[in-house]
Structure 1
Amino acid sequence: MEVSRQKLWTKDFLIVSLINFTITLIFYLLMVTIAGYAVENFNASTSTAGLVSSIFIIGTLFGRLGTGRIIGDWGSKKTLFCGLLLFMLATMSYFIALNLPLLILNRLIQGIGLGIASTATGTIIAQILPPARRGEGIGYYSLSAILATAVGPFIGILLTQLFEDYRMIFAVDSVLAIICFMMYFIVKVPDAPKNANKGADKAGLKLSNFIEMRALPIAFVALVIGFAYSGVMSFMTFYAKELNLVTAGSYFFIVYALVILASRPFTGKLLDARGANIIIYPCLVLFAIGMYAFSAATSTVVFLIAGALIGIGYGNFNSVAQAIAIKVTPNERLGLATSTYFILYDLGLGIGPYLLGFFVPTMGYSAIFLAMVAVIFLSIILYYFLYGKNEKMKQINI
């Protein structure tokens, strides 16, 4: 029985991870192409194109906002079904988004669907993992998103090179969304604990009904880190073209993912054995160095080295920070902890492209990415005061 309880690689773990991989792949495939689509088809400005890109993440934020509470009331299974259904329908609706307002609205709705579905999958994973191996298990689970960050942009950039018509991208996304929805029916999803809303005022609108306060400190650090990374995600295509490194741009996320795949088995186990600080501080420093190299890149070699450094730094920070949010939270509030973490993280990713887009015409991409180095170093200070200096005192769910 003890061996069974300690298993990580169960059928449900694999299928839920595959669902998360698929919806995240669609997200990143569109993230690197939709700004170009808005510019080419609707003559959108750089800032407006950034809004078209980032409004998806704002939708994701709205989708997550009440999902932690909904999981406690409905259970993980019903919540996941609703999220995947909405996400699939919105993905198929790009064909009828024939003007800029409709495109922005559809991106917002699709983001809400992703927010609901991905919060449910993250909660399910936290529920089925053995507590003593949660850091390791969440690290492996987050690889599904990491792989998607590589495969999605690679496929997106490849499709834009092979086809002039963006409808091919929408067709591929629609097929993937349908497959993802069908996978739901072959997984057994545990419901949230019956006392999931213990301590909450069910009839009221108390903040604690929607936000897990214990997860807020690390989630705020994730907001700053998400903001620093958001420009890489949204403006990669434009930046690579400006540097005449389009091919390198398509392989950037492949390198990014490979270094995370190589390092994740070690960082997950190290988190459970030694705590987060030994991972977080080096990762943030490497992220800053990688961002500097990215801002100064003039060759394919430097461009891809930057991708490797950003992958080790940013990629591992994200999974460890998510695990921290789970570890500091009681089991009955895992849904709220998961949604709280991603609400702030998504907020950083969402506002970044829109705000940074205003500075592109005057500063240029390189200067913007260089400025993000300072933002990353700011996050190191924030992490120390908000979590790092009292790490051992804060972990209760281990």
Structure 2
Amino acid sequence: MGRTSVLRVPGMPALVAVSLTGFSGYAALLATAPAWAVHGGASEAGAGLVNGVLLAATVLTQMCVPALLRAFGTAPVLVVSMFLMGVPAAAYAFSDALVPVLALSAVRGAGFGIITVVGSTVVAHLVEPARRGEAVGVYGLAVAAPMIVLLSAGVAVAESAGYGWVFAVASLPLLGVPWAWSLGRRVDATPTSASHEGSTGSTSHGAVRLVLRPTAVLFAVTMAGGATMTFAPQLGIGGGWAAAALFAMSLTSALSRWRAGLLADRHGPERFIAPLLVLTAVGLLLCVAAIIRDSGWLLVLAALVLGPPYGALQNLTLLIAFARVPARDLPTASAAWNLGFDAGTATGSVVVGALAAAFAFGPAFAVMVVVVLAALLLAPRRPARVPA
């Protein structure tokens, strides 16, 4: 006898709507906002600062989200995040000068930092632990879909129809405000909500310590995945092959992040961590082979191998982090996980870029193989006992 879809759980449709609109605002401008700065006369270094400022604001805000939830509750914090993402997106149309673009990017980064932490936390409040993997998978698919569709489409639309259309799409978080308010009110009414808890700073520090191992695994995997997605077009193999590889990796990672939750619900997430890390290392080795042999089809094959573990490990490490903390510290666990994701992505790009400049891309990606295999030492192998 089949069970009902997790989308029938009260609050889950609103979470999907908030995720789709919120992450559409992020994805549409990820490549377009730097190009808009260049349109206004910025140099390549200035264009690089656009997303650098965005992610810096994101990480700084993520560290504050647990305290904001305790102080104000989920509903107002989530609604503010949608305004912080949507209003600046529309405001880009007023100036393409670098300083205004950077200022608006910082505001958007603050909104994005809130929605990333709150979105993954909400899942744990809405769905019982036995179905949490399936729910995290649905949430992950809602997050990934805008990235697949809008990341590359934004640049094409800007070039063919004008930047105004992209700014309009990036303002979609404003349409998500009613769902954000409804979702936040529902979460605030649950007994596990942070707004009902008096968790202290020491409790939050303890929660961070409890989720260090799954977060470290995520950090290693996102280093590898972030470097691959950043530098695929620069490997000298060909723009068409690079685009195909990026699409293959994005699609397979989204699908695996979605479906991995069902396996985790049935068998537990811990048993899959080590095999998926090994599969990540295999994908990176194929990437090294593609670079050495200057082979486009090997690069696409590497992306097809890398995509599933990259997506699945995002789901599984989040589930392990949630399972290791009491309900009052779910926002802290979510913040730590998101920090691991963003910091890993940024570090992978910086490290591989520096190594490639000093040596070549082949040795740089070989170092990522070592990093991923080293993460096997930290891979959780059995469920942890949740502290009282």
Give me the TM-score of the superposition, normalised by structure 2.
Answer: 0.83
In 1, Cα distance between equivalents of 2:208 and 2:275: 27
Cα distance change of structure 1 residues 340 and 55 upon mapping to structure 2, 3 Å threshold: same
Which consecutive unaligned segments of at least 5 residues does structure 1 have? Answer: none
**Does the CA-based 8 Å contact 1:215-1:337 persist in structure 2?**
yes
What residue in structure 2 maps to residue 327 of structure 1? 323
Alignment correspondent of 1:121: 119
Could you tell me how far apart the structure 2 residues matched to 1:86 and 1:210 are? 31
Instruction: Give matches, 1:158-197, under 5 Å.
Output: 158-159=156-157, 162=160, 166-174=163-171, 176-185=172-181, 187=183, 189-191=186-188, 193=191, 196=194
Alignment match of 1:214 (pick from 210, 213, 234)? 210
**Could you tell me how far apart the structure 2 residues matched to 1:40 and 1:262 are?**
35
Tell whether the 8 Å contact from 2:6 to 2:134 is kept in structure 1 after alignment: no
SS at match of 2:96: coil
- Indicate whether 1:315 and 2:314 are aligned: no
Change (3 A) 1:370 1:152: farther
Cα distance in 1 for residues equivalent to 2:60 and 2:234? 29
What is the number of residues matched between the two proteins?
Answer: 379
The corresponding residue for 1:78 is 76
The reply to whether residue 276 of structure 1 matches residue 273 of structure 2 is no
Q: 1:21, 1:145 within 8 Å by CA — same for their partners in 2?
A: yes
Write out per-residue CA displacement over residues 59-111 of structure 1, whole angstroms, 9 at most, x where no aligned residue.
21112111112223322212211111111122223334533343333322211
SS at match of 1:396: coil
Higher relative contact order structure (alpha carbons within 8 Å, sequence separation ≥ 6)? 1
Q: Which sits farther off after the overlay, 255-264 or 66-75?
A: 255-264
Deviation at 1:115, TM superposition (A): 1.0
Q: How does 1:1-398 map to 2 (within 5 A)?
A: 7-10=6-9, 12-36=11-35, 38=37, 41-45=40-44, 49-96=47-94, 98-159=96-157, 162=160, 166-174=163-171, 176-185=172-181, 187=183, 189-191=186-188, 193=191, 196=194, 198=197, 200-201=199-200, 206=202, 208=204, 212-236=208-232, 238-239=233-234, 242-246=236-240, 248-260=241-253, 262-264=255-257, 266-295=259-288, 296=290, 298-354=294-350, 356-358=352-354, 361-363=357-359, 365=361, 367-383=363-379, 387-388=380-381, 391-392=382-383, 394-396=384-386
Query: Which amino acid is the alignment partner of residue 268 of structure 2?
Result: G
Range with bigger deviation, 120-129 or 286-295: 286-295
Note the C-alpha offset of 1:314: 0.7
- The alignment partner of 2:104 has SS state of helix
Shift of 1:351: 4.1
Return closer, same or farther for 1:252/1:206 CA change in 2, 3 Å cut-off: same
Contact in 2 for aligned 1:259/1:308 (Cα 8 Å): yes
- Describe the shift of the 1:366–1:14 C-alpha distance in structure 2 as closer, same or farther (beyond 3 A): farther
Distance 1:351 1:31, change over 3 A: farther
Q: CA offset at residue 127 of structure 1? A: 0.3
Question: 2:248 is aligned with what amino acid?
Answer: V
Q: Distance in 1 between matches of 2:112 and 2:140?
A: 15
Structure 1 residues 153 and 302, CA gap change in structure 2 (3 angstroms): farther
Give yes or no for contact 2:10–2:126 (8 Å, CA) kept in 1.
no
Asked whether the equivalents of residues 58 and 346 of structure 1 are also in contact (C-alpha less than 8 Å), the reply is no
The C-alpha deviation readout for 1:315-348, integer Å capped at 9, x for no partner, is: 1001110111111111122122111211232222
1:245-264: per-residue Cα shift (whole Å, max 9, x none)?
24x44444442344346545
Given residue 234 of structure 2, which amino acid in structure 1 is its aligned partner?
Y
The one-letter code of the counterpart of 1:115 is G
- Residue aligned with 2:303, SS: helix
Asked if 2 retains the 8 angstrom alpha-carbon contact of 1:252 and 1:307, the reply is yes
- Residues 374 and 23 of structure 1: is their aligned pair in 2 closer, same or farther, counting only changes over 3 Å? farther
Contact map agreement 1:81 1:117 (CA 8 A) in 2:
no
> 2:278–2:373: 8 Å Cα contact kept in structure 1?
yes
CA contact (8 A) 1:51 1:354 kept: no
- Say if 1:381 and 1:235 are closer, same or farther in 2 by CA, change over 3 A: same
Question: Using the alignment, how far apart are the partners of 2:350 and 2:49 within structure 1?
Answer: 5
- Structure 1 residues 341-398: Cα deviation after superposition (integer angstroms, max 9, x where no partner): 1123222223444555455555455554443222222222333xxx33xx23x1428x
CA pair 357-261 structure 1, distance change in 2 beyond 3 A: closer
Q: Any conservation in 2 of the 1:220–1:345 contact (CA below 8 Å)?
A: no
CA contact (8 A) 2:23 2:143 kept: yes
RMSD: 3.3
Letter in 2 for 1:244: G
**Contact 1:32–1:234 under 8 Å retained in 2:** no
For residues 304 and 335 of structure 1, what CA distance do their matches in structure 2 show?
Answer: 37
Unpaired segments of 5 or more residues in structure 2?
none
Contact map agreement 1:17 1:144 (CA 8 A) in 2: yes
SS at match of 1:190: helix
Q: Indicate if the aligned counterparts of 2:26 and 2:170 stay in contact, CA closer than 8 A.
A: no
